[in-house]
Chains A and B, each alone.
Chain A
Amino acid sequence: MAKSSLDKKFDQIRKREEEKTFSTKKRSRIVNKFLNNRLAVLGLIIFTIIILASIFAPLLSPYDPMRVDLRSMRQPPSFDHWFGTDSTGRDVFTRVLFGGRVSIFIGLGSAILSAVVGIAVGCYAGYKGGWIDVIALRISEIFMSFPQIILVLLLVSITGQSLFNLMAIFILTGWGGMYRLARARMLSLREEEYVQALRSFGLSTFTICYKHMLPNALSPIMVNITLSTAMFILTEAGLSFLGLGVPLNIPTWGNILNVAQDILILQNYWWMWGPVGIVISVFVLCVNFIGDGLRDSTDPSQQG
């Protein structure tokens, strides 16, 4: 029988083993597995590039994202304007850079803050149980009975539009997921023996909960944060596209896409909305790659 590619791979590994030429680097196994995941590494690189570009936006572009220049309206991409200009003459590339600041801030910020809230409540509720747990559980269930977009839109209609309102709403709708995760981990870890041991040593609930049990739940939490970031960025983009997210005077990636609602612009001025959409997709894709890589590398049951 001809040798399959798997067979050839095996032969290679066996040869290396017998000649003792395999690598024995002492790096942590988790880091190793992550770096072996090419997509995750690629994602991390592009992710960092985009974030740095957003942070250093003023340095990267001579234009003011807000400045209107009626003489250069609706110009296609050129050497002067890499992404062209929009309907009021603003440089699109600059707006994308500055928009990135806001969008990423909202996405990452909301994800982290809702994680903090969710973990704080989840750890305590999961460990202690009692009426706090029941109340928090019911509240999170209520939130989960709404489709996320609907809930966000509902709250936006009540509170009005602003950057901080939006983040607050995101945190309000997002804490539930992390809460359940943390709670579930706490519930399972609570019965572990080392927790009983810690209790018998007389350590306070706070210490046991946050100092000893939390580190064990860290990896799914990290994965969840990356996935939440992706979700929030997409949601913000969708809302701002509809004009219901961040107010239009602050550039965000979604806001820039807002112009595409006009069919004229959609058809004739692709540079005003196309590149932004691609940037959003690429960024979120990278975040997903990283999240997936984190999940794979910290999951002990994955085969090599």
Chain B
Amino acid sequence: MTTYIIQRLFIFFPMLLVISFLVYSGLELSPGDAVSHMISPELASTITAEQLDAMREAYGLNQSFLTRYWIWLTSMVQGDMGYSMAGGVAISEIMVKTVPATLELSMVALFFSTILGCSLGVISALKRGSGTDNSLTVAGMAGVSIPEFFFGLVAILLFAIELKWLPVGGRLLPHYETLWDRIPNIVLPSLVLALMMTAGAMRYARSSMLDVLAREFITTARSKGMPEWRVNILHGFRVALTPVVVLIGFRLPLLIGGSTIIEQVYQWPGIGSMFIRSVRASDYPLVMTISLMYVFVVLTASLIIDVLTALIDPRVRLGKE
């Protein structure tokens, strides 16, 4: 098991390194030099030419590309991510403020969509060909066909404007104190996000389940006189779980991407809407840094999924097949 994890880590770090290198190259190529990104604007306005030169020296601007890259990388890892071009705010500060919001949204959506998607998919598979199956399948297809922002807009129109049940957007208002206060705000965006993901998860769960139910060991379980629920769940779903976990892992990038647009629609102050703002403003340091962060998240998620898969499926653990 540990060897497996170490193997995975061997892929994780080089990949991260390569991408950080690409990101840094992108930064270098964009207008403005590396130092101007790293100095806060207040400092920049009072700094003298000699002090600027000294800073350039410190940041290795007079040295090779690789040294600069290394300095940038090490400061990144230590938490110093430079400054955003647009507002002059420290990027790390931006991260701290916005990432929790996005995490909140994504985790809620992921949780509900996984549970709902898997159960509906399994039910669909068990009742294959019935009315339930057919309507769920069509509903699922509708779910992946409707643009999420459109669905989000319709939801706002219906629930926030017409029915006035829920707020139009945003995450926190000054008078919010408890967790309970915050719930109305998270309902719409997370629900919209979750419904989109459920549709996809449901299709995967269904097809994986159908696959497994056709296999020989299901017949064997029945031949032992096991009741249907045990055959379907304990034997069927348990084996169907592995590919579903993997596929959900692959959908994580989609979740992150999907939350970007939803955040914008609902004015949710997460990293996604921040990213869009930075693209609009051509704020390259912010754009690059956030992208790198996204990559980090995706790679970490893949790693976790791999480990989870190994835990669930003994074949993977022992390196067979």
| A–B in direct contact per CB < 8 Å | yes
User: Is there an interface contact between A157 and B256, defined as CB atoms closer than 8 Å?
Assistant: no
- Cα separation A85 to B138 with both chains bound (whole Å): 33
- Cα separation A153 to B281 with both chains bound (whole Å): 12
Shortest C-beta distance, B197 to chain A (Å), equals 13
Question: Main secondary structure on chain A at its contact with chain B?
Answer: helix
User: Is there an interface contact between B298 and A153, defined as CB atoms closer than 8 Å?
Assistant: no
Shortest C-beta distance, A58 to chain B (Å), equals 27
Partner of A263, one of B168, B256, B257: B168
Residues of A within 8 A of B153 (CB): 260, 266, 273, 277
- Cα separation A167 to B253 with both chains bound (whole Å): 21
Contact with B along A132-168 (1 / 0, CB 8 A): 0000000001101111111101101110000000000
Residues of A within 8 A of B291 (CB): 146, 150-151, 154
Residues of A within 8 A of B284 (CB): 157
User: Is there an interface contact between B161 and A266, defined as CB atoms closer than 8 Å?
Assistant: yes
- Cα separation A237 to B26 with both chains bound (whole Å): 27
Partner of A241, one of B142, B145, B149: B149
User: Is there an interface contact between A280 and B257, defined as CB atoms closer than 8 Å?
Assistant: no
Whether A238 sits at the interface, judged by CB under 8 Å, is yes
- Cα separation A263 to B290 with both chains bound (whole Å): 28
Residues of A within 8 A of B30 (CB): 158
- Cα separation A151 to B275 with both chains bound (whole Å): 11
User: Is there an interface contact between A157 and B279, defined as CB atoms closer than 8 Å?
Assistant: yes
User: Is there an interface contact between A267 and B161, defined as CB atoms closer than 8 Å?
Assistant: yes
Contact status of A285 and B254, CB under 8 A, knowing A153-B276, A267-B161: no
Q: Tell me the A253-270 residues at the B interface (CB within 8 Å).
A: 257, 260, 263, 266-267, 270
Residues of A within 8 A of B154 (CB): 274, 277
Whether B19 sits at the interface, judged by CB under 8 Å, is yes
Residues of B within 8 A of A151 (CB): 291
Residues of A within 8 A of B66 (CB): none
User: Is there an interface contact between A244 and B276, defined as CB atoms closer than 8 Å?
Assistant: yes
B11 (CB) vs chain A CBs: closest residue: A141
Whether A121 sits at the interface, judged by CB under 8 Å, is no
Residues of B within 8 A of A238 (CB): 147-149, 261
User: Is there an interface contact between A288 and B253, defined as CB atoms closer than 8 Å?
Assistant: no
User: Which of A151, A157, A274, A287 has the most CB atoms of chain B within a 10 A radius of its CB?
Assistant: A157
Question: Main secondary structure on chain B at its contact with chain A?
Answer: helix
Contact status of A142 and B19, CB under 8 A, knowing A157-B287, A242-B276, A244-B280: yes
User: Is there an interface contact between B298 and A146, defined as CB atoms closer than 8 Å?
Assistant: yes
Partner of B298, one of A145, A241, A277, A292: A145
The number of residues on chain B lying at the interface, defined by a beta carbon within 8 Å of a beta carbon of chain A, is: 46
Partner of B156, one of A147, A257, A266, A292: A266
- Cα separation A47 to B306 with both chains bound (whole Å): 39
Residues of A within 8 A of B150 (CB): 237, 257, 277, 280-281
Residues of B within 8 A of A294 (CB): none
User: Is there an interface contact between A158 and B18, defined as CB atoms closer than 8 Å?
Assistant: no
- Cα separation A214 to B260 with both chains bound (whole Å): 38
- Cα separation A153 to B256 with both chains bound (whole Å): 13
Contact with A along B136-162 (1 / 0, CB 8 A): 001001101111111001101100010
Residues of B within 8 A of A241 (CB): 147, 149, 261
Residues of B within 8 A of A146 (CB): 253, 291, 294-295, 298
Whether B124 sits at the interface, judged by CB under 8 Å, is no
Whether B84 sits at the interface, judged by CB under 8 Å, is no
User: Is there an interface contact between B18 and A281, defined as CB atoms closer than 8 Å?
Assistant: no
Residues of A within 8 A of B147 (CB): 234, 237-238, 241, 277, 280-281, 284
Whether A39 sits at the interface, judged by CB under 8 Å, is yes
Whether B132 sits at the interface, judged by CB under 8 Å, is no
Whether B282 sits at the interface, judged by CB under 8 Å, is yes
User: Is there an interface contact between A281 and B149, defined as CB atoms closer than 8 Å?
Assistant: no
Partner of B256, one of A144, A147, A242, A292: A147
Residues of B within 8 A of A157 (CB): 278-279, 282, 284, 287
Q: Tell me the A58-104 residues at the B interface (CB within 8 Å).
A: none
- Cα separation A284 to B141 with both chains bound (whole Å): 9
Contact status of A153 and B149, CB under 8 A, knowing A145-B299, A147-B253, A244-B280: no
Whether A243 sits at the interface, judged by CB under 8 Å, is yes
Shortest C-beta distance, A80 to chain B (Å), equals 26
Residues of A within 8 A of B278 (CB): 157
Contact status of A149 and B18, CB under 8 A, knowing A266-B153, A281-B142: no
User: Is there an interface contact between B280 and A150, defined as CB atoms closer than 8 Å?
Assistant: no
- Cα separation A88 to B278 with both chains bound (whole Å): 29
A-B contact pairs, 11 of them (CB 8 A): A142-B18, A145-B15, A147-B254, A148-B257, A230-B145, A244-B276, A244-B279, A267-B161, A277-B150, A280-B147, A289-B141
- What are the 10 tightest A-B residue pairs by CB atom distance, in nearest-first order? A149-B257, A147-B253, A277-B150, A147-B257, A285-B145, A284-B145, A281-B146, A157-B279, A147-B256, A145-B295
Beyond A267-B161, A282-B145, 10 additional pairs, beta carbon < 8 A? A39-B138, A141-B15, A146-B295, A154-B288, A158-B30, A234-B147, A242-B276, A244-B279, A285-B142, A292-B141
